[in-house]
Amino acid sequence: MSEIIIDTYLCSGCATCVEMCPDVFRMDEVTEKAELVTVSPVITDEVHQAAAYCPEKCIEIIE
Ligand code: SF4
């Protein structure tokens, strides 16, 4: 099963992933870190791009 893991310790809250993939990522308004919109999102090319553009490299995709 594929999975997306966000290392919230490293996440800087820049929201790049949210801008690139708002169906998959959103900001946790309390912690100001990224979180997943759904537990098992479909991993599209856009998700891979968001992971690549994450400045902290804290989005891990397991397929
Ligand atoms: S792009 Fe990376 S550092 Fe920025 S909010 Fe998303 S997970 Fe956090």
Q: Which of 7, 1, 17 is nearest to 60 (CA)?
A: 7
Domain count along the chain: 1
pLDDT tens column, 1-25: 789 999 999 999 999 999 999 999 9
Separation of CA 54 and ligand 1 centre (Å): 5
Top pLDDT among 25 and 39 is at 25
3-state secondary structure of 29: coil
Q: Is the CB of 20 inside a 6 Å radius of any atom of ligand 1?
A: no
By most ligand atoms within 8 Å of CB, the mutation choice from 8, 17, 24, 35 for ligand 1 is: 17
CATH number for the domain harbouring residue 19: 3.30.70.20
pLDDT at 24: 98
Reported pTM: 0.95
Domain around 46: 3-62
Average pLDDT over residues 20-46: 97
